Amino acid sequence: MQDKNEKHKPISFRIHQPLGHDEDPSHTFCDPTQAQATTATLFFRQREIYSLLKKRIAPDWMNAHPHAPLCIWSAGCSSGQEAWGLAMVAADCYRAQKKYENFKVFGTDINRDRINEARAGVYPPNLRDEAFRPVLLHHARIHDDLATIKTELRPHVSFGVFDIRKCPNNHRFAYIVCNHVLQYYTHELQKQIVSNFLSVLEPGGLMYLEGLTPSIAGELPIKKFSSVKNVFERTDG
Ligand SMILES: C[S@@+](CC[C@H](N)C(=O)[O-])C[C@H]1O[C@@H](n2cnc3c(N)ncnc32)[C@H](O)[C@@H]1O
């Protein structure tokens, strides 16, 4: 996932106090019908999302902030497999380092039915990438051909209904994942959504933004992070 020539420079995170943004009622939205109609998802859909967490974000965070929770946002999480998958990988990272599992994953979606499914945490045990099968089997009980998320993982994950076109206001995230969502939105709305993400991204934090129109990177204080596709960091500190 990283260029051979590229040196590992630790991500320098700083903790900020929660922001107090007000929602801006003047936002103008496109018709979101298609964006909301497409809710297909799977466990471990894009390997890079989880490799980045395991190899860079979690180790660097634990190093820099041994006592602060690592907060991750799965924005547009549909029925929650992405958020649970992030929590599984984060839990494994903390356990591998024999550290207290001080992390939290927030899964949000505009679709209330999908969020209710996410909270239930019971799925057909299908995944995109078989390399992650042992991870799923470790964190979910398989019974009657259904995978049920184990109780140990549940306190680390919260789900809520939230529209990413609005400004979040009460958390800071070291990692924001927005996969298979942005492509449904216009250029202007993508810009608005990524600006919203930037308002809650920890300095040094990373965003996985699949489907982002490339020119938007030139219009916002973000740039590509290393050679990993779809990963962006902020350029304004
Ligand atoms: C194709 S699914 C992607 C699920 C998951 N991220 C993945 O990659 O497997 C897209 C999800 O984005 C959600 N979505 C679309 N527009 C949204 C918005 N404005 N705010 C929050 N969620 C949104 C949809 O409801 C849908 O569940």
Taken in order of first residue, the domains within the chain and their CATH numbers are 43-234 (3.40.50.150)
**pLDDT (average), residues 186-193:** 96
Percent of residues, the chain, with pLDDT higher than 70: 85
Q: What does the pLDDT read at residue 34? A: 67
As a whole number of angstroms, the distance between CA 175 and CA 205 comes to 6
**pLDDT (average), residues 110-125:** 96
Q: In angstroms, what is the span from residue 154 Cα to ligand 1's centroid?
A: 21
As a whole number of angstroms, the distance between CA 234 and CA 223 comes to 6
Q: In angstroms, what is the span from residue 42 Cα to ligand 1's centroid?
A: 12
Contact 222, 191 (CB under 8 A): no
- Residue 235 makes CB contacts below 8 A (sequence gap 6+) with 221, 222, 223
- pTM comes to 0.88
Closest-CA residue, ligand 1 atom 1, reads 39
Q: What does the pLDDT read at residue 6? A: 38
Q: Is 163's pLDDT higher than 80?
A: yes
Q: Is 19's pLDDT higher than 60?
A: no
Paired with 159 in beta bridges are 107
Closest-CA residue, ligand 1 atom 9, reads 41
DSSP-derived secondary structure for 22-45: PP-TT------HHHHH-----BT-
Closest-CA residue, ligand 1 atom 3, reads 180
pLDDT band, residue 228 (cuts 50/70/90) = confident
Supply φ then ψ for residue 79, to 5 degrees. Answer: -85, 10
Q: Which residue has the higher pLDDT, 237 or 207?
A: 207
Which atom in ligand 1 lies closest to the alpha carbon of residue 210? 8
**pLDDT (average), residues 51-59:** 97
Supply φ then ψ for residue 219, to 5 degrees. Answer: -105, -10
**Residues with a CB atom less than 6 Å from ligand 1:** 32, 35-36, 38-41, 45, 76-78, 82, 109-111, 114, 163-165, 179-181
Q: In angstroms, what is the span from residue 232 Cα to ligand 1's centroid?
A: 19
Q: In angstroms, what is the span from residue 182 Cα to ligand 1's centroid?
A: 8
Pocket test of ligand 1: the residue of 86, 181, 184 to mutate, having most ligand atoms within 8 Å of its CB, is 181
Q: In angstroms, what is the span from residue 55 Cα to ligand 1's centroid?
A: 26
Which of 174-206 are b and which e, b meaning 16 or more Cβ less than 10 Å from the residue's Cβ? Answer: bbbbbbbbbebbeeebbbbbbebbbebbbbbbb
Q: In angstroms, what is the span from residue 229 Cα to ligand 1's centroid?
A: 19
Q: Which residue has the higher pLDDT, 21 or 55?
A: 55
Mean pLDDT of the chain: 87
Q: Is 18's pLDDT higher than 50?
A: no
Q: Is 180's pLDDT higher than 70?
A: yes
Q: What does the pLDDT read at residue 28? A: 37
pLDDT band, residue 128 (cuts 50/70/90) = confident
As a whole number of angstroms, the distance between CA 206 and CA 31 comes to 29
For the stretch 59-110, pLDDT in tens is 999 999 999 999 999 999 999 999 999 999 999 999 999 999 999 999 999 9
Q: How far is CA 40 from CA 90, 170, 181, 194, in A?
A: 23, 28, 11, 22
Q: What does the pLDDT read at residue 105? A: 98
Q: What does the pLDDT read at residue 13? A: 41
Paired with 47 in beta bridges are none
Q: In angstroms, what is the span from residue 233 Cα to ligand 1's centroid?
A: 22
Which atom in ligand 1 lies closest to the alpha carbon of residue 38? 1
